[in-house]
A and B are shown apart, each in its own frame.
Chain A
Amino acid sequence: MSVTATFKIDYHQFLDENGEAHSDLPGGKLPAFADNPADLVPLYRLMVLTRLFDAKAIALQRTGKLGTYASSLGHEATHVGIGAAMREEDCLAPMYREYGAQFYRGVKMSDVLLYWGGDERGNDFSVPSHDFSWCVPIATQCLHAAGAAVAFKYLRQPRVAVTVVGDGGTSEGQFYEAMNLAGAWKLPVVFVVSNNQWAISVPRSAQSAAQTLAQKAIAAGIPGVQVDGNDLIAVRWAMEEALERARKGDGPSMIEALTYRLSDHTTADDATRYRENAEVEEARRKEPLSRTRKFLEAQGVWDAKQQEALEAECAKQVDAAVAEYENTPVQAPEAIFDYMFANMPESLKQQRDQHVKEMNDG
């Protein structure tokens, strides 16, 4: 017998759950972007904003002012880390809870509210105008990212497509199809598996017998790495490595970010039906915000007063977004029809005209 191939999966963490930094990089140094800890402050601020926004969105849903909403509670480091590593011209194909990444890229909080409030205009981001919007059919977005990468390569644009898929989503055929294509064609795309341990009520262990999800990349012939998804520095570092690789023409990568869904799956779900509180509490100890804050405080670039001021400022911003959302009137009846085609078929025009007339007649 001889061995034809062997594989390993690396795991990276820079900030542990107590906010203590250590590094396996040469010289024991933190990545360049974290050289000056003050540079991380804006990212921390966005993580806090995302969390406060999230709590507000859930409260709105509970009082009947928002539809079903998918919380990002606990995923903030993964999401903001993704956003911070990307360039403006890169393209994000998200699933449905990556608000931190989207806010970094310019999506407005009111956009998120409009979408979950049942208004298509939430998908009409003014910035980033080229990003895909939320993608509910699980894992279908992976192929869009691969296709976007084909376009960037074809058009000789130094851009990278990034997609996010859940641990559950890695069971879908389309996830494999996308990675396989990306590997075979050496596409500039980064696949992020947001492994939050649960797909609604189904635990990670029931999705796959694979020891890691990162190793699924190996079968597609592309590098796969695991990072602590609650560690902002690790996520951003791995993302930057992967983006750089892709931008240089060295092809796709996959990053498995290990995090935890601290919330119910969505506001329509009740996680106490299927998971133990002890597990959630254990995960809560590892959540991303407090460790980032501890780190920044220990570095002398953050303190309780700043925290207090930040929370007040975030509350104001969130309230303003809610007001914008609540003051957005319902679209005109013709909006149901007007975006179906560039050149509307006659039969559809007739349906539109009749509908508008009926609405006007009351």
Chain B
Amino acid sequence: MAEVALVEAVTMALAWEMAHDDTVVVFGEDVGINGGVFRATAGLQEKFGKERVPDTPLAENMIAGMSVGMAAQGLKPVAEIQFMGFIYPVVDQMISHAGRMRTRTRGRLTCPMVLRAPYGGGIHAPEHHSESTEALFAHMPGIRVVIPSSPGRAYGLLLASIRDPDPVVFLEPKRIYRSYKEEVEDDGEELPLDMIYTLRDGTDITLVAWGAMIKETLEAGEELERQGVSAEVIDVATIYPLDMEGILESVERTGRCVIVHEAPRHCGVGAEIAAELAEKAFMHLLAPVRRVTGFDTVMPLFRMEKQYMPSTKRIVKTVLDVMAES
């Protein structure tokens, strides 16, 4: 078994699936000889050739639109968008075609495609390289949105995303691309695309997070333990569809919930989870559901980005407030 970082697990999953399915084609800007600007496709062009791992011209809507065409005609495109900040031209193809091809044609044509993109802040990057706009895609009917938060989940969820018969936007939290390694067996085993992961057991409160925010949320869990609060930590992993059953099971037990995300607060995925809890867990709640999120502002450039990112401290404080309310 190999010890790999999250970004290496992505490469491993791509290589596995390419080796086992000739219809998988990996492409994007700088994915070839350069192996992607984060090296997520390192070595793939060498291994599988230029036809299966081509560098595309610089055009994101083209990447999405050609993926729709390829997918509808028998291939499994796995395209890289270099940064989430440059994903917006794909919105047209994703919303107008990828998400509705199956339903439009009553299943005659489908879109088994994956768009991968690194996302999120905290790496001192230039403008447009730090945003988290997963909610945009989660709002689009017909598209799955997946966010792994560990090497193992990156491997299994990416395999499942490629094999899934529908379009998947696969967002990779780049702040934790290389923050730690773990053993991941390169066995082609996929993970389900509709299941939460409980990373920490607790009885007083449920903390719900995804992506790089898992790090601060787990840290908060430990700090809270020291302060006598037992926090359960859930990695949502699949933003759409949400495993609400899993989240509800936990919140019904703890009676409290705080949702953490980097993205702006307004209409963020946290709002959807909170609405579901209001509908389905109201009678079990001992305190209001709260959110710790980015502000409803443009992500500041990096001199102030730390102020924007939800910190362990903010999470702990919010949890203590919630505990005090009940």
Contact = CB atoms under 8 A, between A and B. Distances in A.
B124 A274 contact: no
Given A201-B30, A274-B33, A331-B304, A137 B86 contact: yes
B296 A351 contact: yes
A38 interface: no
Contacts of A199: 29, 58
A173 B63 CA distance: 12
Given A336-B308, A358-B314, A331 B303 contact: yes
B288 interface: no
A68 interface: yes
Interface in A321-342: 330-331, 333, 335-337, 340
A148 B305 CA distance: 31
A280 interface: no
B304 to A, nearest CB: 6
Contacts of B296: 340, 347-348, 351
Contact of A67 (B32, B34, B35, B302): B302
A68 B129 CA distance: 11
A335 B304 contact: yes
Interface in B14-35: 29-30, 32-35
A138 B29 CA distance: 12
A116 interface: yes
Determine chain B's interface SS by DSSP, over half rule: loop
A165 B298 CA distance: 25
Interface string B44-77: 0000000000010111111000000000000000
B125 interface: yes
Contacts of A136: 85, 126-129
B297 interface: yes
B297 A172 contact: no
Nearest to B301: A118
A8 interface: no
A333 B307 contact: yes
Contact of B297 (A137, A202, A330, A337): A337
A117 interface: yes
A274 B265 contact: no
Given A351-B296, A355-B295, A168 B58 contact: yes
A109 B95 CA distance: 42
| Size bin of chain A's contact surface | 35 or more
Interface in B100-138: 124-129
A305 interface: no
B58 A351 contact: no
Given A200-B34, A347-B266, A173 B89 contact: yes
B37 interface: yes
B58 A202 contact: yes
Contact of B295 (A171, A174, A351): A351
A201 B124 contact: no
A172 B303 contact: no
Contacts of B86: 137-138
Interface in A148-174: 168-169, 171-174
B127 to A, nearest CB: 5
B300 interface: yes
B297 to A, nearest CB: 5
A281 interface: no
Contact of B128 (A117, A137, A172): A137
A30 B305 CA distance: 51
Q: Considering residues A120, A202, A208, A359, which has the most beta carbons from chain B within 10 angstroms of its beta carbon?
A: A202
Contact of A336 (B61, B127, B307): B307
Nearest to B317: A358
B61 A337 contact: no
Contacts of B125: 67-68
Interface string A116-136: 111110000000000000101
A268 interface: yes
Given A138-B86, A340-B297, A116 B126 contact: yes
Given A273-B34, A330-B304, A336-B300, A68 B126 contact: yes
B128 A340 contact: no
A207 interface: yes
Contacts of A1: none
Contacts of A118: 124, 126, 301-305
A25 interface: no
B85 A208 contact: no
7 contacts: A67-B126, A136-B127, A137-B86, A269-B37, A273-B34, A335-B300, A336-B297
Counting from the closest, the 7 A-B pairs by CB-CB distance are A118-B302, A201-B34, A171-B57, A118-B303, A168-B58, A118-B301, A171-B58
Given A120-B301, A136-B129, A172-B59, 4 more contacts: A118-B304, A201-B32, A336-B297, A358-B314
